[in-house]
Amino acid sequence: MSFRELKIAGAWEYTPRQFGDDRGVFFEWFKSSAFQEVTGRPLDLQQANCSVSAAGVLRGIHFTDTPPGQAKYVTCTKGAFLDVIVDLRVGSPTFGQWDSVLIDDVDRRAVYLSEGLGHAILSLEDNSTVMYLCSIEYTPSLDRDLNPLDAELAIDWPTHARDGSALSYQLSDKDKSAPTLAHALKAGFLPRFDNRYTGSPVG
């Protein structure tokens, strides 16, 4: 297994080692000891989610008021998604920047994002399935959204599905009406970089 830190501090890509034969494939999609060695913290699992999406479904940008914030460990069990992490932490050196990872049922990567980071996914194939491990339970009063098509963020969303067909983005009404980064900054509800989780000694 291998971890790669993304350009957004507090986010990592995990690529598992797969073992396959004529019966199928086995791999570890999460391992606590390896996770803690890289991130310097445990993942306190409080909720696990599963979401199935048609090609073109765009979910996010979602984040949670910080503190307490919600950390996520995300993988794709079927199909493919572009997974996008956005730095929404005011005062961060990479504030307003984003990074992305292709998560699919081929390389079977996972993505971890710390509290205070925004998250969005775009399905690249019908019936694509994503699984989330979450550090706190979903709490509507803490839930926040930004528009994933915000021109200021300029996220480079794919225009074609995995099979080469053109994508037509499908957003929920909530995500369509979500504020831009500029509006959220002015309203004062973005996370602060100095409230981020800094980890704890491991070992």
Report the alpha-carbon distance of residue 8 to residue 30 in Å, rounded: 21
Report the alpha-carbon distance of residue 74 to residue 152 in Å, rounded: 26
Give the catalytic positions in this structure: 62, 132
Report the alpha-carbon distance of residue 202 to residue 198 in Å, rounded: 12
